[in-house]
A and B are shown apart, each in its own frame.
Chain A
Amino acid sequence: MRRKLAVVLVSCLLMLLVAACDGGNKDGGSSSDTGSGKNAEAGGGSGDKKATIKFWYSANDADPNDTHYKWIEDTIEQFQKANPNIKVEPTVISNADQYLNKISTEMAANNAPDIFQTWMSGRLEPFVKANRIYPLNEAIDADPAFKELLNPNNLDTSTFDGKIYALPNAMTAEVVFYNKALFDKYKLSVPETWDDLMNVIKTFKDNGVVPFALGNKDPWAGSIPYMGIYDRLFGPQAYEDVVLKQQAKWNDPSFVEAGKKLVELKDAGAFPDNFNGLSDEEALAMFHSEKAAMFFIGTWIVIEANAKLGDKLGFFNFPDIPGGKGSKADDFIVNKDEGYAISNASKNKEAAIDLLKFLFSKERQAANAEQGQLIPTVNIPYDKSKIPAITIELNDALSKVKNSMIPWDNPLGQNIGKEFNMTTQAILAGAGVEESFKKLQAVSEKVWSK
């Protein structure tokens, strides 16, 4: 009797376990099935079925004046009004680094939200390769009115094997923003060469103004001046080999030389005293409050900086270094940013596509442009008079770019990209330049040796 009871109990337990595992499998299988089923339906107009879609993005929700956050909020609100059957559940994360961690981990666990913000190139590629992202070609081709808004030139960083996996919502360039009023006050002009720059730094430093705001606590922040220096010294060649083709050649002397130039900049007192412990937000606040005269950062700050500084805000491309191969007239650090993608595992692709189209509709893109964003879309009927002057200037400058370099940490992907950022962070914090790149080389060899 007792033995029988034991057998029954054990088999019950085993069955529970098996059922649990099996259930998991079935779920996974069926979700991809309905996925492909929906694809066929997707062309047949928006559904009347009720759907709830999860939507993740990164914006500064802590700042009520953040216009980008407001733009997304408004977009969601208007979308809900127009599509009462679809419920959007937004999740916003203000810190971009944390957002990247979260989305990557969830992507790995196959828990990605239906529609989400993503980075492009090397940070998107692994997801695409693993079949986690839904290709958008069908949806785009099925709707000519939608298609004509997208500029094919701006889809290159999110296209893999001829398929488009994400749509960028912003063009960004990494340039030096500066405070015109502070430059005037000390009778300085925009630096054309490295020596000019050193002179500007010295003048500001002598007068108690921080020359460059920099929040090196966020490892990527210090990589921006590094990339600027690297390009002016050596031009785009090594960038293509090492960053784009991923050949592990960090031991090339050029990388060390650029690192030493960066140290020179630091030693000249270009950055605030405690820049290694400042976050990017704190550095931005420093620039906004006019404690710092310059900020080498991406154009994502334009909307807010324009609101805070207005006419005082100007920009220039990082100056030339005599004898260097790069040129400030031709070479820009440019990226397509803030992509929106749809998860392959989504059960509500149709609704997600509707939201995607709404984000990239004429009205919302016009609103996006009018708040000062550099939009990657075309044929948008926005009101030019509403656009800040700085945005128009930036647009002009970007239309003349000859060599564009994507910020390295993007094509390098999440692992080596972060390792590269940490290398520049370490150099700025006083670590040996040679040793730092030797270490980066060792990591790259290990990871890229496929």
Chain B
Amino acid sequence: MERLLRNKTTILMFILPALIIYSIVLPLPAVSSVYFSLVEWNLIDTMRFVGLDNFSFLFLYDDVFYAALKNTFIYLLLSIALQLPMAFFLAIILSKAIKGRRFFRNVIFLPVTFSGVAVSLMWYFIYHSEVGLVNRFLEAVGLGFLKHSWLADGSTALYAVIICVAWQFVGYHMVIYMAGISTIPADIVEAAKMDGAGEWHIIKHIMFPYLIPMLKVSTILMTTSSLKSFDNIYIMTQGGPNHATEVLASHMYTKAFAQMEYGYGSALSTALMALCISATVLLNRLFRRDDFDA
């Protein structure tokens, strides 16, 4: 048996089915979308090879692409800036033996299990300018002058979406950090307390270093999910008003499937793919160097 498993052909035989399915599902479409980015095609007419025309249009004329790029980065940075510290402190508080911590833990984690579409629809109504919870609340407490059409105003729409996403996923990262906190040996914390370390010192010098691997994981998860974010945007604003919340994925969707510009949509998806790959490589580099330092 052992000899059988050492044989290269046998190994190949075992991985072949999975490899074939995997390559049909993942790398092949990716490669073909690079090919489609070089054509002008509405999915129905005959395909017309246009070389790099799609890309030159993308970089020279498509200001929506630049708006989407900017929004994607704002979305990415703010998601991390909001969710990471919030999840971190929630995890610390709920790891303590406080009353009702199970209840709060479940409540905070619950939105993660909801469908993104349902959450987005709910927040769409929360932000609604006429019947929305936010405006009704502001009016009720006498702050009626702050009433605003949150999703309809280009200056607030993107932030409104980011808050909705943070609300949904903060529980997810909290659970990751709580798992990390539970691995911290109790005697270290005990010893620190004996030496007179305060709450803040314990967090800063014991919990934070222990949680660094978890923080890295959740940063990578947040980065990749932000880069390809689509559902929340599509449901709440459809990229509007006037592209104020347009992200790369929603721009790609509109081009490829609403305008049937499949070639151009593929060019956008190629750009998005390049961005995702470079972000992942960059983050990996960054974090690996940290490991050496530590």
B260 and A419 contact, CB distance less than 8 A: no
A429 and B154 contact, CB distance less than 8 A: yes
The smallest beta-carbon distance between A274 and chain B, in angstroms, is 4
What 1/0 mask marks residues of chain A from 1 to 45 whose CB sits below 8 Å from any chain B CB? 011011001100100010000000000000000000000000000
B153 and A277 contact, CB distance less than 8 A: yes
Q: Which residues of A contact B153 (CB under 8 A)?
A: 274, 276-277
B259 and A429 contact, CB distance less than 8 A: no
B48 and A277 contact, CB distance less than 8 A: no
Taking CB as reference atom, which chain A residue is nearest B63?
A439
Bound Cα distance A426, B240 (Å): 10
Size of interface on A: residues with Cβ below 8 Å to B? 43
The smallest beta-carbon distance between B149 and chain A, in angstroms, is 4
Taking CB as reference atom, which chain B residue is nearest A126?
B44
Scan residues 266-312 of chain A and give those whose CB is less than 8 A from a CB of chain B.
273-274, 276-278
At the interface with chain B, which of A99-107, A143-151, A326-334?
A: A99-107
Contacting residue for B44 out of A132, A276, A430, A443, CB 8 A: A132
Taking CB as reference atom, which chain B residue is nearest A110?
B44
B45 and A130 contact, CB distance less than 8 A: yes
Contacting residue for A130 out of B44, B152, B259, CB 8 A: B44
Bound Cα distance A414, B129 (Å): 31
Q: Is B183 an interface residue (CB 8 A)?
A: no
Q: Is B20 an interface residue (CB 8 A)?
A: yes
Q: Which residues of A contact B45 (CB under 8 A)?
A: 126, 129-130
Q: Is A92 an interface residue (CB 8 A)?
A: no
Bound Cα distance A66, B224 (Å): 43
Contacting residue for B260 out of A274, A276, A415, A425, CB 8 A: A415
Bound Cα distance A220, B45 (Å): 25
Bound Cα distance A294, B43 (Å): 40
The smallest beta-carbon distance between B10 and chain A, in angstroms, is 7
Size of interface on B: residues with Cβ below 8 Å to A? 38
Q: Is A401 an interface residue (CB 8 A)?
A: no
A3 and B242 contact, CB distance less than 8 A: no
Q: Is B113 an interface residue (CB 8 A)?
A: no
A276 and B9 contact, CB distance less than 8 A: no
B152 and A276 contact, CB distance less than 8 A: yes
Q: Which residues of B contact A2 (CB under 8 A)?
A: 4, 7, 9-10
Taking CB as reference atom, which chain B residue is nearest A108?
B43
A415 and B261 contact, CB distance less than 8 A: yes
Q: Is A205 an interface residue (CB 8 A)?
A: no
Q: Which residues of A contact B259 (CB under 8 A)?
A: 414-415, 418-419
Q: Which residues of B contact A418 (CB under 8 A)?
A: 254, 258-259
Q: Is B257 an interface residue (CB 8 A)?
A: yes
B242 and A429 contact, CB distance less than 8 A: yes
What 1/0 mask marks residues of chain B from 138 to 171 whose CB sits below 8 Å from any chain A CB? 0000000000010111100100000000000000
Q: Is B221 an interface residue (CB 8 A)?
A: no
Bound Cα distance A259, B118 (Å): 38
A276 and B129 contact, CB distance less than 8 A: no
The secondary structure that dominates the B interface is loop
Taking CB as reference atom, which chain B residue is nearest A3?
B9
Most chain A C-beta atoms within 10 Å of own C-beta, residue among B7, B129, B238, B259? B259
Q: Is A185 an interface residue (CB 8 A)?
A: no
Contacting residue for A108 out of B44, B157, B241, CB 8 A: B44
Q: Is A192 an interface residue (CB 8 A)?
A: no
Most chain B C-beta atoms within 10 Å of own C-beta, residue among A129, A132, A443? A443
Q: In the complex where A126-B45, A415-B42 touch, is A277 in contact with B149 (Cβ < 8 A)?
A: yes
B242 and A13 contact, CB distance less than 8 A: no
Scan residues 415-450 of chain A and give those whose CB is less than 8 A from a CB of chain B.
415, 418-419, 425-426, 429-431, 439, 442-443, 446-447, 450
Contacting residue for A217 out of B17, B20, B152, B260, CB 8 A: B152
What 1/0 mask marks residues of chain B from 59 to 71 whose CB sits below 8 Å from any chain A CB? 0010100000000
The smallest beta-carbon distance between A419 and chain B, in angstroms, is 7
Contacting residue for A126 out of B9, B42, B129, CB 8 A: B42
B40 and A274 contact, CB distance less than 8 A: no
Contacting residue for B258 out of A97, A108, A439, A442, CB 8 A: A97
A276 and B42 contact, CB distance less than 8 A: no
B16 and A276 contact, CB distance less than 8 A: no
Taking CB as reference atom, which chain B residue is nearest A219?
B240
Q: Is A127 an interface residue (CB 8 A)?
A: yes
Q: In the complex where A107-B44, A447-B261 touch, is A277 in contact with B10 (Cβ < 8 A)?
A: no
Q: Is B125 an interface residue (CB 8 A)?
A: no
Q: Which residues of A contact B40 (CB under 8 A)?
A: 446-447
Q: Which residues of B contact A446 (CB under 8 A)?
A: 40, 53, 57
The smallest beta-carbon distance between A5 and chain B, in angstroms, is 8
A431 and B242 contact, CB distance less than 8 A: yes
Q: Which residues of B contact A431 (CB under 8 A)?
A: 242
A-B contact pairs, 18 of them (CB 8 A): A2-B10, A6-B9, A9-B16, A10-B13, A100-B258, A101-B257, A104-B43, A108-B42, A109-B43, A217-B238, A276-B152, A276-B154, A276-B241, A276-B242, A414-B259, A429-B242, A442-B61, A446-B57
**12 further contact pairs, Cβ within 8 A, besides A100-B258, A130-B45, A418-B254:** A101-B258, A105-B43, A108-B260, A129-B44, A129-B45, A217-B241, A276-B242, A277-B149, A419-B259, A442-B61, A446-B53, A446-B57
